[in-house]
């Protein structure tokens, strides 16, 4: 398949939407297979996801979610991008449903890149646009039995922190949220939390230093610390490491 154009994305979305609204989720999946079966830039897949979901209403939402389930079950990387982006549209009307489906799809994907794709899209946007409602969900995710669901918290914090760089009090809330989990050793979880801390350090180095210093005598993973201090200047990095 040749690289799809912007116009091609729009036409593909229109075909998929017509089938979704008619209740033909299998037909919608079939229409999307040409982009699911090849390597397609994430930016185009994100556009496709937005184009598909933008006409979705609360009334016809079940038809969209049935199609999302079909796309996820097809298990193509691009499908997770399309669905992760599409879920964002339904956050205002079906917040809890989107969070539940995000968790479900992360578990079904069962690999780091699916966790990160969903974490940066539906979960990250939930945190950006519905902060107070999302934080309790992230607390539940931190205690989830699934390692990828737990990792997604760090990914969503990363996503939030690269977009919201002028609300330090919210950043402090997120640091407080993950504080009890700093001594965790599960590698995938550590990488996720470390990613979130790294991005916080890029925009709020002083806040990150003040947060890390009291915990440096604890049994914190070396990997977590290394990731967390990535963007700190040498002086601040030493301030943390020499505590």
pLDDT tens, residue by residue, 52-101: 999 999 999 999 999 999 999 999 999 999 999 999 999 999 999 999 99
pLDDT of residue 224: 98
Q: pLDDT, tens digit, for every residue of 156-209? A: 999 999 999 999 999 999 999 999 999 999 999 999 999 999 999 999 999 999
Which pLDDT score, from 0 to 100, does residue 243 have? 85
What's the CA gap between 129 and 161, in Å, rounded? Answer: 13
What's the number of CA atoms in the CB half-sphere (13 Å) around residue 77?
10
Q: What's residue 5's pLDDT?
A: 87
Residue 136: exposure state from Cβ atoms within 10 A (0-12, 13-18, ≥19): exposed
Amino acid 14: pLDDT: 97
Domain ranges of the chain: 1-90, 114-243
pLDDT in tens, 118-154: 999 999 999 999 999 999 999 999 999 999 999 999 9
Closest CA to 49 of 75, 81, 77: 81
The pTM (predicted TM-score) of the whole model is 0.96
Quote the CA–CA distance of 157 and 199 in Å, as a whole number. Answer: 8
| Start-to-end CA span in the chain (Å) | 56
**pLDDT band per the 50, 70, 90 thresholds, residue 6:** confident
What pLDDT does 23 receive? Answer: 97
The contacts of residue 152 (CB under 8 Å, 6+ apart) are 102, 106, 115, 116, 118, 119, 123, 141, 192
Segment 104-110 mean pLDDT: 99
- The position carrying tokens 């470390």 is 194
Encode pLDDT of 12-32 as tens digits.
999 999 999 999 999 999 999
- Residue listed under structure tokens 């691009």: 78
The pLDDT of residue 2 is 56
**Mean pLDDT confidence for 213-234:** 97
Which CATH number applies to 114-243: 3.20.20.70, 1.20.1260.10, 1.10.1040.10, 1.25.10.90?
Answer: 1.25.10.90
């Amino acid at each position: 398949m040749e690289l799809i154009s912007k116009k091609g994305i729009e036409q593909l979305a229109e075909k998929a939407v017509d089938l979704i609204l008619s209740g033909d989720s299998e037909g919608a999946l079939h229409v999307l297979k040409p982009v699911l079966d090849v390597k397609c830039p994430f930016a185009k897949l994100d556009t496709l996801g937005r184009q598909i979901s933008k006409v979705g209403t609360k009334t016809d939402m079940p038809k969209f979610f049935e199609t999302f389930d079909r796309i996820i079950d097809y298990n193509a990387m691009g499908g997770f991008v399309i669905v992760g982006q599409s879920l964002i549209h339904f956050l205002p009307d079906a917040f809890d449903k989107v969070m539940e489906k995000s968790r479900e799809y992360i578990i079904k994907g069962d690999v780091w890149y699916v966790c990160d794709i969903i974490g940066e899209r539906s979960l990250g946007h939930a945190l950006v646009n519905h902060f107070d409602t999302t934080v309790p969900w992230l607390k539940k995710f931190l205690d989830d039995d699934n390692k990828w669901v737990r990792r997604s918290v760090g990914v969503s914090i990363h996503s939030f922190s690269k977009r919201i760089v002028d609300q330090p009090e919210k950043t402090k809330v997120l640091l407080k949220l993950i504080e009890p989990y700093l001594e965790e050793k599960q590698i995938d979880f550590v990488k996720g939390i470390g990613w979130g801390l790294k991005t916080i350090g890029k925009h709020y180095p002083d806040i990150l230093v003040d947060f890390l210093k009291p915990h440096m005598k604890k049994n914190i993973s070396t990997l977590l610390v290394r990731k967390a201090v990535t963007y700190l200047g040498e002086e601040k990095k030493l301030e943390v490491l020499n505590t």
